[in-house]
A and B are shown apart, each in its own frame.
Chain A
Amino acid sequence: MEIKDFINHFADQFDETDKSEFNPETEFKTLDEWSSLIALSVIAMVDEEYSVKLKGEDIRNSNTISDLYNVIASK
């Protein structure tokens, strides 16, 4: 698993936010488009792509995309 791929998958969950806005340091919850429904898409994507069960609190406790990546890598 590479963070570059993860960022691409992560960005795919958004419809309006430009791809260039996503990098390891992006604080994703501050993005205008972020919502509870996108949180579900991220959980679904992580289940599908990485067979990892991401919990709501994992998202709650992560600020940047790289934080979230590290949580998944550790599972």
Chain B
Amino acid sequence: MDAYIKAISYYLPDKKLTNEDLNVEFPEWSVEKVASKIGVSERSITGENEFASDMAINAANKLFLEYKINPEEIDFIMLCTQSPDYFLPTTACIIQDKLNIPTSAGAIDFNLGCSGFVYGLSIAKGLIFGGIAKNILLLTSETYSKFMHPKDKGNRTIFGDAAAATLISTNGFAKIENFSLGTDGKGAENLMVKTGGMRFRSAVNKTSIDENENIISPDHLFMNGSEIFNFTLEFVPLLVEDTLLKNNTLKDDIDLFVFHQANKYMLNFLRKKIKIDEEKFYISLEKTGNTVSSTIPIALKDALDKKIIKENYKVLLAGFGVGYSWGGNILEF
């Protein structure tokens, strides 16, 4: 038995946030310079009344249309999100109803960020190998823009909203090979929205300014850039190595590396550190920004559409970030 990716589509909200828009809001700041370094010219941002379930449903409907999939075929829904519509019920349950997926389907949400897509593939593969489900709809949908402090120019330049829908099945175009997964909760506080959950239920409405003149607010998304950067420098090379090892594959046998599209600056640094040729390293975030768990499926879809991924290609995926959490996998096309 094998598990395959059978279809991938994605959805971007209509509203765009361009570098010019940011420049108007932060005239004293060199948006263009920073944005060119991180490789983003435009991000899509959800409207006031558009949430994770809405984007996920749009992505799934695109998938059904594009690949002529009948929602009746889906027997399991997985939604990866850190910005669910509600604490409860599970957003995937709402999605089941709205997509007219049979009530006999299983549905779960799981809370992961940038490693979420690879984790989703691993769970889906387990469901198939366990004989539990055959057509799993993996949805990744994140509205980080709603977590942002309006004055947080750094994070607003990096992140964009998006959703992706991937069908994992017993047949398809990309065989899901072996995984390397990992976790280090010591990094929890370096990428965090501190208040709003049960531990700190109420907003504190208190902001401070760090030494780089960035705004810090416990009620909004906080990212300690230098610590996250150090985490990736330390763990991503090991993740790539272990993923190759688990698949009994050499680095030279990989045709394309698709990493979580965090930002171009960091990706290029990682690429050089791991010694991957530029032409084998896919970068695709200029028009989307960092869309958290959707960056890898969006990059895969774009690389397929542009015929950068060809038949028999071995593609190494690496997702890493908030948690800290990371996961690697090889897809065989």
B211 within 8 A of A: yes
B214 within 8 A of A: yes
Q: Interface size of A by Cβ–Cβ distance < 8 Å?
A: 18
Contact B233 A39 (CB under 8 A): no
B145-159 CB contact bits vs A (8 Å, 1 = yes)?
000000000100000
Of the listed stretches A1-9, A18-26, A53-61, chain B binds A53-61
A39 touching B230 in the complex, CB below 8 Å, given contacts A15-B33, A44-B269: no
A70 within 8 A of B: no
- What residues on B are CB-neighbors of A54 within 8 Å? 230
Give the contacts of B210-253 with A (CB-CB under 8 A): 210-212, 214, 224-227, 229-230, 233-234
B310 within 8 A of A: no
A72 to chain B, nearest CB (A): 14
- Tally the A-B contacts, defined by beta carbons under 8 Å: 50
- What residues on A are CB-neighbors of B34 within 8 Å? 35, 37
B66 to chain A, nearest CB (A): 38
B81-97 CB contact bits vs A (8 Å, 1 = yes)?
00000000000000000
Contact A40 B212 (CB under 8 A): no
> Can you report 24 A-B residue pairs in the complex whose CB atoms are below 8 A from each other?
A15-B33, A29-B211, A29-B212, A35-B34, A36-B154, A36-B210, A36-B212, A36-B226, A37-B37, A37-B265, A39-B212, A39-B226, A40-B225, A40-B229, A40-B265, A40-B266, A43-B229, A43-B230, A44-B229, A48-B272, A48-B273, A53-B234, A56-B227, A60-B211
Supply 20 further A-B pairs (C-beta < 8 A) apart from A36-B154, A44-B269, A53-B233.
A29-B211, A34-B212, A35-B212, A36-B210, A36-B226, A37-B38, A39-B225, A39-B226, A40-B225, A40-B265, A43-B229, A43-B233, A44-B233, A47-B233, A47-B273, A53-B234, A54-B230, A56-B226, A56-B227, A59-B226
8 closest cross-chain pairs (CB), A and B: A56-B226, A36-B212, A40-B229, A44-B269, A36-B225, A56-B227, A39-B226, A43-B226
B residues sitting closer than 8 Å to A (CB atoms) are 33-34, 37-38, 154, 210-212, 214, 224-227, 229-230, 233-234, 265-266, 269, 272-273
